[in-house]
Amino acid sequence: MLHLILFVIFAGICAGGALNMLLQKHPINSALSLIVVMVSLAMLYMLLGAEFVAAIQIIVYAGAIMVLFVFVIMLLNAGEDEQTKGSRVAMLFGFPSLLVAAGVLVYTLVLRGGNTASLAIGQFHGTAENISDLLFKEFILPFEVTSVLILIAIMGAVLLARKGGTE
């Protein structure tokens, strides 16, 4: 029961925050709404029993990536956005495809998903031990490849920054 109440609260905050992010005119308000979305997503993960993922979600997304977003908005001193009426392409294709995507989701999750059951906290494979077992035993090669990819990205960023500095 408590589980359901918490889920409804945080799912509501999450959806509300996401809507607010789209509707706000000022970039910093949108960024703040995005932080709210990230934190309530972490709470949803925690309700699923994936406590480690929840903590990482807060540290990485809410604590690091969004700080950089806010930092950049502050640095550029961005003002209020000018509103356009929206392009015709978005009107023509955006809303129908949104409807189709929502329909597919509802169909797969609600109508076809007969085998759902509720999980208690700790039953899901979400602890640090589970995840490190998976990462460093089963998926060690993809993990290392990803780290090389990130290293390349870092080197690229350094290269771009240096080029800008000498000119």
Partner 1 sequence: MNSDALTFLLTAVVKILITIFVLLTAVAYTVWLERKVVGRMQNRWGPSRVGPFGLLQPLADGLKFIFKEDLTPPYVHHFVYILAPMLAVVMALTAIALVPIGPSITIGHITTPIQITGVNDANGGSSDIGIGLLILLGITSISVYGVSLAGWSSNSKYSLLGSLRASAQMVSYEIALGLSLVGVLMISGTFSLREIVRQQQGGFWHWNIFGGFQFVAFFIYIMAAYAETNRIPFDLPEAETELVAGYHTEYSAMKFAMFFMAEYANMITVACVASVIFLGGWSGPIPSFLPPILQSILPVFYFLLRVFFFIFLYIWIRGTLPRFRYDQLMAFGWKFLLPLAIANIVITAFVIAVRG
- What single-letter DSSP state applies at residue 26? S
Residue 23: CB minimum distance to partner 1, A: 15
Residue from the set 11, 48, 55, 131 that interacts with partner 1 by CB under 8 A: 55
With contacts defined by CB under 8 A, name the span among 6-14, 57-65, 83-91, 143-151 that binds partner 1: 57-65
- What number of CA atoms fall less than 13 Å from residue 22's CA on the CB side? 6
Residue 66: CB minimum distance to partner 1, A: 8
Q: Which amino acid is at 22?
A: L
Task: Show the tokens assigned to 139.
Answer: 């998926």
Q: Which of 44, 40, 41, 48 is nearest to 120 (CA)?
A: 48
Q: Which amino acid is at 166?
A: T
- What single-letter DSSP state applies at residue 123? T
Window 20-39: contact mask with partner 1 (x via CB under 8 A): ------x-xx--x--x---x
Residues that bind partner 1 (CB under 8 A): 26, 28-29, 32, 35, 39, 51-52, 55-56, 58-59, 62-64, 67-68, 70-71, 73-75, 77, 127-128
